[in-house]
Structures are given as structure tokens and as C-alpha cells.
């Protein structure tokens, strides 16, 4: 691998080749949009679905942090010169990820979304904690403990629900409905963008690698820890 730059601040960023700058912008835009969209369609509505004051309190913390993730990416994006309109889902043509189209109506669905959806977020953020663009790397390092809390939140509440047989059946049903599309979150194989990210040390791993790691970790969690069945992912060719 050729030497990758270590870009410590925005001034140094503005001196990098256009290919480097464009690659970092793409990542920041995609995170800013998806964090905001996810906060709106899942996290915030979940406050109303949460069954107890304790669950509402922790859900509020999740909501605060997820909006905070959007805002951190949005602020960094502004410093990088990205127009605000490119980072707000309603103002851009770039549609949010297809996994965001799940119509959530129940508290136990939200718990499963946090359990397996935030595991996907953790894997994405892990890939940025060594990023050659240090402002993005620092943002990823700050975000990581919060994403871990969200996944743990999902695990804890799913465990409570699984204490009854009826609850176990419901969580399995939710996994069957929600999990199969999740691995598409990591993008297509042989991605040209990903080659550029790795060339410049912005990301470390291929999409295929991350997807495989995700499926393995989801299986350890769902089958190893819960004794439930991880459904088959949809084939990538069928991904929207």
C-alpha cells in the first residue's frame, strides 16, 4: 500500500487531492443523512412506544445521542464546505438506505432494530476509528461508546421480552422481518468508492469483509446469546 496522508485538520484537508476530499465528503454526507433519518423514523417515535418510565428514559437518551450523531457529522460537513442541503434527507435527492423503510409500529420491533441495526452501525464506525482524516477519526471515536450503548440497550430489552415464550416468538418474528435486508447496509461488493476509501486510508475494510463480519457477529448474538435463529440474508443482487 502506498503511503497515505495523515490529515490533521480542515486546512490540511483543503490541500488534499480532489479524490481524497470527495471521498471524505461522501462518507460524511451519508452518515449525516442516515443518522438523521434513523432518529426520525425509529428512535424518536420509540419514546411513545416505550412501555415504562424507565424504558422511556433510556429511549430518550438514545434519541438524544442519535440526533447528536447527525449533528456531529453535519457540523464537520459544514466545516468541510459541504452545503447544508446535501446533509438533510428532505433536501437532497440521495435517498436514505433501503433498510430505513421498515414500518415500525411496536416497541419490541424497536428493540430488535437496536439489537441488530446498531451492531451494523458499530461495524461502520469501527472502520473509521483509524481513518487518515483525523477530524472524522475523532468523531468516530466519540461516537463509538454511544453506539455500543444502543446495541446493549437492544440486547437488554430483547432479553427482558424473551423471558416469556410469547415474547421469544415475537422477537424471532421481528428478526425474520428485519434482519434479512440488514446486510445490504454495507453496500455492494467490488465497490469503486470502497477502493478509493482504502487507497487513501479513509476506511480499512472491503464491503464484503464488513458484511461477513456483521453476519457472523449477528449470528453469535442471536443464536449464541439468545438461542434464536438468524434468518438468511437477502441475496445482494436483490438489494435495492
Binding site for Fe ion (CB under 5 A): 35, 66, 69, 118, 121, 147, 150
DSSP string, 43-103: IHHHHHH--SHHHHHHHHHHHHHHHHHHHHHHHHHHHTT--GGGGSGGG-SSPPPGGGG--
Say how far apart CA 181 and CA 232 lie, in whole Å: 9
Q: How far apart are CA 174 and CA 177, in angstroms?
A: 5
Strand partners, 7: 133
Query: Shortest Cβ distance from residue 40 to Fe ion (Å)?
Result: 12
Nearer to Fe ion, 35 or 155 (CB): 35
Nearer to Fe ion, 66 or 109 (CB): 66
CB of residue 121 to Fe ion, shortest distance in Å: 5
Q: Which is nearer to Fe ion, 32 or 230 (CB)?
A: 32
Smaller CB distance to Fe ion: residue 7 or 111? Answer: 111
Q: 185 with 236: CB under 8 angstroms?
A: no
C-alpha cell at 7: 490529515
Min dist CB 239 to Fe ion, Å, is: 21
Q: Closest distance between Fe ion and the C-beta of residue 182, in Å?
A: 14
Amino acid at each position: 500500500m502506498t503511503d497515505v496522508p495523515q490529515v490533521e485538520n480542515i486546512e490540511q484537508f483543503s490541500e488534499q487531492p480532489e479524490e481524497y476530499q470527495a471521498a471524505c465528503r461522501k462518507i460524511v454526507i451519508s452518515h449525516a443523512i442516515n443518522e438523521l433519518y434513523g432518529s426520525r423514523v425509529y428512535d424518536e417515535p420509540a419514546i411513545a412506544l416505550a412501555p415504562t418510565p424507565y424504558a422511556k428514559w433510556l429511549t430518550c437518551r438514545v434519541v438524544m445521542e442519535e440526533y447528536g450523531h447527525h449533528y456531529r457529522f453535519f457540523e464537520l460537513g459544514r466545516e468541510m464546505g459541504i452545503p447544508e442541503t446535501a446533509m438533510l434527507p428532505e433536501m437532497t435527492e440521495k435517498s436514505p438506505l433501503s433498510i430505513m423503510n421498515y414500518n415500525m409500529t411496536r416497541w419490541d420491533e424497536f428493540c430488535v432494530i437496536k439489537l441488530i441495526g446498531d451492531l451494523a452501525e458499530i461495524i461502520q464506525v469501527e472502520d473509521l476509528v483509524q481513518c487518515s482524516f483525523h477530524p472524522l477519526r475523532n468523531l468516530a471515536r466519540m461516537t463509538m461508546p454511544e453506539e455500543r450503548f444502543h446495541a446493549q440497550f437492544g440486547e437488554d430489552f430483547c432479553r427482558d421480552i424473551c423471558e416469556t415464550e410469547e415474547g421469544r416468538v415475537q422477537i424471532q418474528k421481528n428478526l425474520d422481518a428485519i434482519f434479512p435486508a440488514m446486510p445490504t447496509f454495507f453496500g455492494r461488493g467490488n465497490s469503486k468508492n470502497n477502493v478509493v476509501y482504502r487507497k487513501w486510508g479513509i476506511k480499512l475494510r472491503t464491503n464484503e469483509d464488513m458484511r461477513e463480519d456483521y453476519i457472523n457477529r449477528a449470528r453469535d448474538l442471536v443464536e449464541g446469546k439468545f438461542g434464536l435463529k438468524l434468518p438468511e440474508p437477502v441475496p445482494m443482487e436483490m438489494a435495492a
